[in-house]
Structures are given as structure tokens and as C-alpha cells.
Chains A and B, each alone.
Chain A
């Protein structure tokens, strides 16, 4: 305030000479405050558009081809068995059959369409099974699985948290509903060993499931949800459980069952003896047995390859289309006649 007074009262005709006297409020120049930071100004000119499309297509098409080839290299045998494995006379009431105690052994024959190099992965695939349901996903206790000290830590496991007042290990719906169909394979009456080691992610095996945690009170309840566990083996070695407990993202999912570590030749027949125990009948879920080889990309999935090819193709097409438009009806860059006030001079 004071400086203002001084200026207005002392300014009698000597305005011009006053600024140096007072301390000037003039701010120092800085590129930031004057908003003059160096910047590049990308303009999406037709040339840029066309070349960007070209670039994308040139990158994507090879990737797409490679992915597709990789996917095509994979040999996959899928066998859906949930209906065929029920005796014809029982098919009217599948649920009753699966809940009964009779022998549910079922035999399937698979024919190898192409040579399958080892390792051949055995998967089971379930359908309409909501492993990602909120109630299901959270019904587990990571604490309990990791360390035997935390075996009472079952608060998250409702409703499968305890059995007759004793904590269930492993608790929760996920473990309780463990998949319990089993498969054994033979070729020419010769057994094919299914290696069940190393089917789970190493990080799960070593960190999430303790090697001193043993199943307790598991499946003791009135209702059995699924497979039993070997109470003499620590959880870290029960790889079926570990695989099962890495819940799937979608209601249709595959899980790794084991590996067959011999090559299978084309047109060979494989006998599968399976125990059809798991109840997917109450919710009309499909069950499939899958034998598959892998490529560098993994299993058989054309999606990535097709997506890359489609996008690459689309971009190529677009770049061509834009080029044509550019040649036929070019727009001069910075043509003032496009300015709105030149189109409509009144400006209203």
C-alpha cells in the first residue's frame, strides 16, 4: 500500500522517472511463467497419418503371420466327456448318478491327428464354472496356506472354515471344490506316465503354499465338494491343489493336469481311463480333456495372430485409402479458406 501512496502522491509530472527509484515489481523472465517452454508441435498431417498406418501394418503383419504359424504348429486334442461318460440309462438324471457311490470309471479313445512332440500337456477344461465369483474368489486363507502357524486363520474362508469346531486346512470354497476327475493314459496297452510335477507356477509352489502345512480336517463335512488330499504330503507338493487355487479369470477355463513326456505319433490311438467324479452336472458345466503341445507362444490360440493380421491389414488398407484420397482430393496444408471466418465472413 505504502508504495502506491508514494507513487500517486509523488507523481507530480515526474511519472517517467519514477520506476527505477522504486523497487520494480517486474517479474523476472522465465520460460515457465511466460509459457514459452520449448515444445514440439506434432501436427497430424495426412503424410503422418499415412505413414503411421504403414508403419503399423509393416510391423503387425509379420508378427501376425509368426503368431499364427506358431499357433498352427500346436497339435491339440480335445475330448468332451461329461455326457458320454455317463451310462446311457443314467443320463436322464445325471446329478443322481454323479452323487451316487457307484464306480464312475469311463474309457475314452483318442486318435492323435499329427505327430505330437513331448512334452504333451494334459489339461482339463471346465465350462460355466465361475471360479471368479466374488464369493468363491475370496474364500481362501493365504495366511493359512503359507504357514502352519496360521492354521486357525480361517476367517476369510466362510462357509468352509471349520469342521466340528476344528479349522480346516486348506480352508475355503476353492480348496473344498477341488477338481477330482482323474485320467490315466495308455498306448497299445502300455501305460503312458503322466508327470504331475512342475505343473504349477514356481512362485506359487515356493511362496504361497508352505512345505510344513499338511491338510487337516479336509472334506470332513457332511458334503464333500471335491477331491481329497493326501494328509501326509505338505501343501507345497500337492500341485493339483496349487493349480486349482490359482483361480481362473473367466467361467471357461483350462487347468493343467499333467505332462506326458513321450512323443506321440500321428494316427496313434490313446486309451484314456478316467474317473468321472466331479459334479458339473448340477450347473450344466461341460468337461473336456485336452492334450496339447506348445510352441514359443504357448498353446493353440489363433486369436493373437488373427488380431495382428487383421489390424495390420486394416492399417494397410487405411493407408492405401488415405493415399488415394490424398491424391484425388488433396487438402493444402494450412489452407486459409478452411478458416471458419473465411467460410462464413459474418461470423455468426
Chain B
């Protein structure tokens, strides 16, 4: 989760401070007009302020290279520069480039290239087959792929057309003329209405809102749905109406188009005055206008030069582990191919001889058959045989797998009703179809806590004000703990004062309805509420009444706090860039309210290092206050001396809250004197306008004023567990999946949540490695950084070794308990160092659950890759916030919770689900089935092509190794694409070993995927063995039985009769073999299998029945009729497939009888069940304790020791990108990377085939 998202610095208190980069011939321009109080209202930018250091520049300033000058509202002046138009084309191809470019794309795939080479080989005389044999399947595959490409490109074209012809109001002749987007030019003045999209990157000139602000939504850029504020330069506020706007003649000098979404440098020169521009005046294409009637802007960048378009790039796609193993299988096939060709080639060299005079091997014979150069014969025959045996590589395998996976993800996963979440109206979404089967092999799940395990619906639950705890009620964690202890929790009687709305679940008569005025220290309460109402970056929306107002916040915590203030009688209802207006009801008379405006002078924003946020505000009466809220650790450091009583009691309360699983924040304030503030503000402005290390300097300056704080109290926010999380985790654990929770929360919160989720129970042996020990704290209090680091590292090392030893002892024990490891972020930093990494990995792999608390986003990614790379296990990361992005991308499978916290996680993920509990369906049902199906499809392809090719191989031995083909060209070329293509796809879609409900009922079945039981070399071996067996049966049975006359007429069969017979047997057997491999047979199976066999007969009836005028050897003319006129045909057709399948049948029978797979037992148990959704009582299998038993054990081992730290639980939005890349963790660290992904939605990369 994140606090304060990536809102660009919005100058609520300051006028725009912008930086113009250094340019030759330019003075460094720095506009830093800082005016305090209400002054800003009256000032006009056109009147130069005495303090302003604005440099006036004439229009004749030399243009620095790399900068563009735009004349606003003056098309002629812009003409010579030839800016690009505003039409966009996201299509990959045009009519002319489609074929060459599309084909090029296709042939970048190795498989296609291989078949292209084979096709080229087959046009040469060394080829035994007609080119059609290889060209036909290749063309079909290419055709399918190209049609798909064309279709997708066509959709993109339509989309582009629609976008390009959207109408937009442009100023022409003092009127708003509506012209399509594509006709927009740089420099045009446009009007964008509410909820409209910006057609290009615009300079924001004027808005209907007062103060020249507008609200924009950047969901299309970064997926964030909270509103952002943009503010126009004061100088341009007036150009709102057409007649006024037409008078606007400005010149803009700005950077060249680039892809950085959050920076912009430039100047606006109006009437010889240079005004610096910042990102705050820029409205980017792709964003939309909200809460503003309309705005007027000038076009800066158009079309492909807009920042969002410059960000468009391909997303690197993940490949599944199974696919990588598939590559190995293909390589093995290549090896087999090579071996077969080698044998054949050697044979041909030995065989060839002039004694076979009937072969016409005279003096002028071609090289391939020239007996005087046997080596050349062998070499050329090698190529001949490669062409002949090319069918061993299944050409349609990739197409089929892609098709299957595509349908699996779009039809099954995306439309699964079990994964539809009614409350948020969200379905599961497979953002890639590459990883379906990976879902069936996951062994480690890395989960974020907040928003993933919990709902991320933050409710203000308790608070501590001035050393007093307020708020009744128990958290779910507490209830769970109490139940474990056997205490019956009485439902707290809801008092009349209880209010429960979104973000607020608080009840205490002492505070509600103004009762706080009678408390011991009402002034502290007032400060508390004001702090809540003022110190935030929330935007109010909707009606200004308490009932109807809603808050737009970057994180739900903030919204909850503001909502709390509202309920306590401090309604924050309006925000302007400089003001926060609060309707306070603390005035003397009950029920009366008073609107108070607080001027916001500075906002010291939140970030992950600061862990706090401050606001400097001025009361209407002139009082200057700094309100601060943040993590207890950072606030306590900055408190003024004294007041120890409150500090102590608040600290105790924080610990209480923390162990109850609540998220805490400390609130503090400080009164500022005018002088102190002025001098600080100077430094602040300097820091804010500095060009280098601005962030760092700002932090340093903020540090100067954020001290001597007075503690007000603390807040506690509850984040409830999502529905079904405990049972889901239990199920996944039974499935053999190990779940690691990586959270930014404090240890006690994390442990409690882990208990509540049944991740840890009391049968488990827990190893806790924490930096919160007395020894470490002591060192921390005195030692320097180096000393601390050394000490912690040593401690961690010792701990790890100790735990590892113990863990190994447990492993050897007879009744081994499950192990759990709990480690905190600080220790993890050291444990992840290369020297300790091995120990950490060993220890954690022995644990069935691991909890890492207080970890940074980078550490999340590091832990993930530790397991992924170190243990070679298949990992899955699930999270919902921007801080999970790196983890999501580091894992094999990334899952985003499409929840409340922006879309970054979803944008970076491979699958998006609405609730954590849907993981059960996604993994145990879809993942497992996909894995089974893909394995079956791959194995079957392997088998059918190997079988087919081997029959050819056996034939080679009896043709003098000449490479004569056994089958007719067309038979061979259609074998893969027609006669055996469809059934395997049907199996890939519909095969089910056990039903969905049984899959969830017996999660242990999932272990077969983890063990990779269905794609091992042993399995490949079994299939290969039966391929060999069957091919021998096909070849020898058919040829041996064909060596005499076959009916009363005594006529003999020729080569093509025999081969057609063999081919018929192959087609029939291979199709029936598939049926034998099916676990469930739908009518689609029957249709496709029967259809394929039928297709063969129909084909051969027609094909052998006609003579064509083309140059075709009439080899198979009439053969099928000749064959079918004999008993031999029918007897062989009955005999050969049955003999061929007998081997498999015996194998399967024995396997099932003596070494059954788990799923087979489950099938047998439920063999009499009706179809899915049976309500019947299912047999319970397993050795699970009842929940009650578990709870009764739980009492003793609850973590008693409360640490001195408390539940600060805000995560940061930005994650350490630099370090991440140093560590080799690939992740789009910067928000614009996320945006880049977001912008990809408009031009999705086509599915690879």
C-alpha cells in the first residue's frame, strides 16, 4: 500500500517554483515568489514583485539547440517548423508493409525458421518429398498467425481512427470550432470540457474554477484513480472565453518531446515577460478532466510526440517453466532427428553401388547417387533425410498450445463465475496467456499483507489523545486470539453514538457528538482533530454537507483519518491550492458550526525515508502551526522534551494497538513563530528550487523544522481480513504451497495476522529473528552506524545458524513439526547478504511458512528472487500496491489484487484477481487443469509426430537408405494440420481429471504439479517407448501382411497401397490413443476424434478418386478403393490399431492398478457422483485438526512479549529503483515505467504464436 501516491509536487502554499535547465546564453531563471498569507490573492504576476528574481527576456533570445519554440494561437508562425500532426497510428503494419514485416516477425521464431529452411530444402532435388509436404503446413501456420496479426492490427486501426476523429473545440475566429483531434496543430488553443480527454499535451492556460486550478485523472497513465490538481499560471487565468483567448499571443520555449511523464521544463513568454513553466501547468494526453467545467490550453506536443505515446513500448513477456522445459524436449527431438539421419546417411553411403544397374547409376549420375563418391552421397542423403523426417518436430505444436492457452485464459479464467467479486464487480483477468500452466506448479507464494490478505478498507478504530485511549470494540485479530484462548467474546453493545461508515468504525461516547469538550483536556482533543482535518493531501468531492461529501485520497488511511475528523465535528470540505476550509462545530453553542479557513503555507510530503508528513498552516487569527503525523519511531525522535507522562502512556497505547493488529500513526504539532518560519521558509524555497538533489535537500530542510514537536496522540486504524483468507491459506498449505507473508507492518501485527490467517499455528515451531532485542537496542543507542551494522550482522548470523541447526534436528525427528520463520526487515538486510544468503535459504526452505515484516519493496523482490533463483522453485507473488510491483515482476507469476489502491500492481501483474481467496480457484482449479492439459497436449504432440516419423524411418531401411518417402506428399503434409490437429486442442481445453469442486476439496492433488509429475523425463520416456512400439507395429504388421495377393483376383499391392494402409492405421490409432488418454470425454471429444478419422477417409476418397491435370505423380490413384475391395484392409484395420494400443492399455491398467496417481484414486472415490456441483457429502480425507482443536492449542504460544515498537504501517509509494537495478532485480521502479505499461493498453502486444 502506499501513502501519498505519486502526486507531483503541487504547490498548495507556494507559487510555482520551476527550474529552467542550464542553457547557453540563458541566465538561470528562477522564479521564487513566496508570499505569505492572503497576499497571493491580490498579486498579479504581471506586476513584478520586488523579491522576484524573474529575468525578462526579449523575444530575440537565441534558441538553444534542442529546444522548441511554439507560437501560441498562430498557425502561420509555427508553419516553418513542421511540427508533427496530432493523428496517431498505433498499427504495426500498413497495407504495403504487412506481408514483408509480418512474415519477418513470424520467421524470427526458431520453429518457423526451421520449417522455412526445410521447405527450401524440399524444393531442391535432394528432397524426397514434394515441397508441398512442408510448405502446406508452414503456410497454414503462417496464415493463421498472419490473419490473427491482421485482425489485431485492424482493431488497432479502428481504434486509432476513432481516437483521431474525436472532436475537440479549437479556437478559430474567436469561436470554438469543433475539429477532429487529428487536425489539431501545435500552438492551437483548445477547450476541453469536463470528463473530456486531453487531445495532446497541453499548456494549461485557464480554467472555470477559481484560482486557475483544475482536477485531472491520470488513470490511463498510471492507473491511479485519485484526482490530481493542476494549476495555471496566474498570468493566463483570464484567457477563458473565446474573445479573450483569441487575444492570447504567447511564445513558448520548451524542451523537445521526451518520455518523462513527471518533468517538464519551459518558459512562456507573454508580452516580453518570461514565465517559467513546470509540470504543474502541463496536461498530458491520456488524462481526463474532472470536477472542472472546462479548461483552455495551448497545444505543446502532438500525436506521437506526446509523452504518453513516447512511453509506449513492449512489455517483456514471461515464459513459463514448462515452456522452457519444452524447449529441451524439442532439442532432444532434434537430437533424435540427427541420429536417425546419421544412421540413414551412413547406410546410404554403404548401400549405393553400381551393381543395382536398374537404378541407372551410370557415369553421369547426379551426386546424390554417385557410387564413386560415397561420402558425398552420405552427406547429401543426410539433408534428404532431414527433409523427410522433418515431421518429427511438431510444427503445429506452438500454434496449438497458443490457441489452447488463449482460450483457457480468455474464456475460462476471465469468465469464471467463482472468481467474480460482486461487491467490486470485478472478474479475474489474465493479462497474459503465457503462464496458465505455471499456475499449476507454484510452490512458493509471496504475499503482501495489506490489501491482499486484508481488505485495505481502513476504518478509524481507536485513538489515543493526550494519554487517554478512546474507542471500544475488538478487532478481528483480537477476537481470533480470544477464541484461541477459549474466551467467549461478547458482542459489544452498540451505543447510540456509534457511527459506522466507510473509513470510520469508532464508538466512544466520550468523544462523539461533541462530548469531547467535557474531557480532561479538550484542547488536546481539538488539536488532534485539527491535525486530522488539516494535515493530509486529500481532495473533497461532491456536496459539501457531511453526509454527502466524499474524499479522494491516495491511500485509504488518509481518507479514514479525514473521515474521522468529520465525524468528530471537523468537516474538511474544500481545498484550494492555498487554503483548507474546515467546518468546525466546537463553537460554544451546540449544533452551531463555524467555517474556518486555514492557509496552507507548506506541505512537507510523505516519503519512505521520512515516514512522516507535515503541513504548515496559518490560522485565521495568524497563529502559525506545523502539524505532523507519521511513524512513532520518527515522531518520538523529534518530540520536545518534557511531557513524559503522555509520551509513556501513548507509547503503551501504540503497543496495545499494534498487538491488536491495528495500524498506528502518531500525531504531533508545533507552534511556530513568525521569524522562525520566515527564515526557514527561505531555506525551503531555496531547496525547492535547487536543481540538484532537490529531494534530498528538501528532506534536510524539512528536518530543520520538524522538531520540538508536541505529541498529541495516536490513531489506530483497522484493516480487516478479507473474506475467506484463512480457509484459502489453509487450503493452499494443504496443497503443498508454502506461503510467505512479506509486509511492511511491525512484527506483532504481522504475527497476529499470520495467526488469524492460519498461516502459523501453535503446532509449529517458530523461529523468530528480530532486530528488536535488548542487546541490539543497546548497541543502537550508543554505537555508530558501522558498529551497529557489524553487531546486527553477527547476531543475525548466529541466529540463523542456531535456527538452521535446530531446524535440521527437527527434520530428522520422527514426528516433525512444521516450522515457521519470522524475520524483520532490518535483519533481512543482513541475512540477504551473499555470505548469509545460503543459510537463510536453507532455513526458510525448511519452513512451511515465513513471515517477513517491516520489509521494503526492494527486499520483497530480493526475497522473491532468492527463492526463485536460489532454490529453483516456482514462485508466485501477490500484492495490490505500488510497493508490490517489484515483487510481482520478480516472481515467475505475478498476481495483482484489483483492489482499492490504484492499479500499479495490476498493471505489472500477469493475472489480476479481486480477492485473495480466489487464489484457490486460480491455482487449484485453473492452474492445475492448465498444467495437466498442457502436459498432455505437449506429450501427445511429441508422441504422434515421433510415431509417424519412426514409421518412415523403418521404411528407410528397406529402400536402400535412399530416403524414399513412405507416404504420399499430401498425406504427410495434412497429417499434422488436419488429421490430428483438432482433437488435441479439444483435450487441451476440456480434459478434466477431477471436477473443480473436488480439486478444491482435495488440494493435495496440486502437489502433482509441484512435483511436475506429468512432464518428467520418465513420462517422456514412457511415451517415447510406446511411440517406438507402435511405429514398429504399424510398419511391420502392415508390410509383412501385404506380401501376397489379397483377394480372389490374386493381384498384388504396390508401395502406395501399403503406405496408404499404414497411414490409415496411424491416423486411426493416434486419434484413438488420444481418447484413451482422456480423463473426461465430452461430445466434443467424440466429434473431433471421429471427425478427424472421417476427415482422413473423406480426403483419401476424393484425393485418390481424381486425376488432376497438374504435374502430379498419380501414386495414390484409386488405392483406397483397391484396398477397400479386399478383406485384408478390414482385417488389418482391426488388428493393427488394437495391437498398437494394447501396449498402452496394459501399461495404463497396471499403472492404475498398482501405482495409481492421486487423482485416479479421487476419481475412483467419486466415480458415482453426478457431474459437477454435487451437493453430496464428500468423503473427508486427510488428517486435519478441527478449528477448535487448533485454537485450544494456540493459547500458550501467542506472542506475549510486546516490543517497544508499534504498528506503524504505511508503506512508501516509491521504491528504491537504483538499488533494485543494482541488485539485478528487474522492475519498473519509476512511476513512469508503470505509466508506460499503462499506456500499453491501447496497443497491446500481439499474442505470440
Contact = CB atoms under 8 A, between A and B. Distances in A.
B426 A318 contact: no
Contacts of B384: 134
B1131 A252 contact: no
B1014 to A, nearest CB: 14
Interface stretch (B272-280, B615-623, B1137-1145): B1137-1145
Nearest to B991: A39
B1059 A333 contact: no
B1040 interface: yes
Contacts of B996: 35-36
Given A19-B422, A19-B425, A335-B1161, A203 B1121 contact: yes
Interface string A280-293: 00110000000010
Nearest to A6: B225
Given A33-B416, A35-B412, A252-B1043, A203 B1122 contact: yes
Interface in B1055-1112: 1055, 1057-1059, 1078-1084, 1107, 1111-1112
A1 B219 contact: yes
B816 interface: yes
B552 interface: yes
A283 B356 CA distance: 6
A160 B225 CA distance: 81
Contact of A254 (B1043, B1164, B1183): B1043
Given A40-B1080, A121-B1050, A201-B1118, A130 B1043 contact: no
A15 B423 CA distance: 7
A129 B900 CA distance: 80
A73 B1158 CA distance: 54
Given A5-B217, A34-B417, A249 B1059 contact: yes
A92 interface: no
Contacts of B365: 159
A13 interface: yes
A1 B478 CA distance: 38
A334 B1039 contact: no
B425 A340 contact: no
A333 B219 contact: no
B57 interface: no
Given A4-B219, A34-B417, A249-B1054, A39 B990 contact: yes
Contacts of B1183: 345
Interface in A231-284: 243, 246-256, 259, 279, 282-283
A127 to B, nearest CB: 12
B1082 A39 contact: yes
A79 interface: no
B1050 A256 contact: yes
A138 interface: yes
B308 to A, nearest CB: 14
B420 A43 contact: no
B1135 interface: yes
Contacts of A121: 1045, 1050
Nearest to B1048: A294
Contacts of A25: 420, 425-427
A250 B1057 CA distance: 12
Interface in B1106-1161: 1107, 1111-1114, 1117-1118, 1121-1122, 1126-1128, 1131-1132, 1134-1135, 1138-1139, 1142, 1145-1146, 1148-1149, 1152-1154, 1156, 1158, 1160-1161
A100 B1148 CA distance: 64
A40 B1081 contact: yes
In this complex, the member of A8, A15, A52, A225 whose beta carbon has the largest number of chain B beta carbons within 10 angstroms is A8
B1173 interface: yes
A333 B1160 CA distance: 10
Interface in B319-367: 353, 355-362, 364-365
A139 B1043 CA distance: 23
Interface string A6-43: 01111111011011001011110110111111111111
B45 interface: no
A173 interface: yes
Interface stretch (B763-771, B954-962, B1204-1212): B954-962
Interface string A35-62: 1111111111110010010001001100
A137 B1161 CA distance: 54
Given A43-B1167, A311-B1138, A208 B1117 contact: yes
B813 to A, nearest CB: 11
A147 B695 CA distance: 91
Contact of B1156 (A8, A132, A255, A338): A338
Interface string A283-313: 1000000001011111111011001100100
- Most chain A CB neighbours (cut-off 10 Å) among B356, B552, B1050, B1080: B1050
Given A15-B423, A27-B427, A52-B1145, A159 B1079 contact: no
Contacts of B425: 7, 18-19, 22, 24-26
B496 interface: no
B1172 interface: yes
Contacts of B1081: 39-42
B643 interface: no
A248 B1054 contact: yes
A17 B1183 CA distance: 42
Contact of A207 (B219, B1107, B1182): B1107
Contacts of A156: 1113
Contacts of A250: 958, 1039, 1043
B927 interface: no
A297 B1127 contact: yes
Contacts of A334: 1161-1167
B672 to A, nearest CB: 35
B1181 interface: yes
**Residue in B220, B929, B1117 whose Cβ sees the most chain A Cβ within 10 Å:** B1117
Given A36-B1172, A282-B355, A292-B1045, A256 B412 contact: no
Interface string B471-489: 0000000000000000000
A80 to B, nearest CB: 16
Interface string A119-143: 1010100000111111111111011
B963 interface: yes
A65 to B, nearest CB: 13
B1047 interface: yes
B1007 A347 contact: yes
26 contacts: A5-B225, A5-B290, A19-B423, A27-B427, A46-B1153, A130-B962, A133-B964, A134-B965, A135-B359, A137-B1055, A138-B1113, A142-B1114, A158-B360, A201-B1118, A207-B1117, A249-B1042, A249-B1058, A251-B958, A304-B1041, A314-B1142, A322-B1149, A333-B1164, A333-B1165, A339-B1158, A341-B1007, A345-B1183
Interface of A: 1-2, 4-5, 7-13, 15-16, 18-19, 22, 24-27, 29-30, 32-46, 49, 52, 56, 59-60, 63, 67, 119, 121, 123, 129-140, 142-143, 146, 156, 158-160, 173, 176-177, 198-201, 203-204, 207-208, 225-226, 243, 246-256, 259, 279, 282-283, 292, 294-301, 303-304, 307-308, 311, 314-315, 318, 322, 325, 331, 333-336, 338-342, 345-347
Given A26-B425, A283-B357, 11 more contacts: A33-B416, A34-B415, A42-B1078, A135-B359, A249-B1042, A255-B1052, A259-B1050, A304-B1132, A315-B1142, A334-B1163, A341-B1182
Leading 8 A-B pairs by shortest Cβ distance: A299-B1044, A334-B1164, A334-B1165, A203-B1118, A246-B1054, A134-B962, A121-B1050, A298-B1046
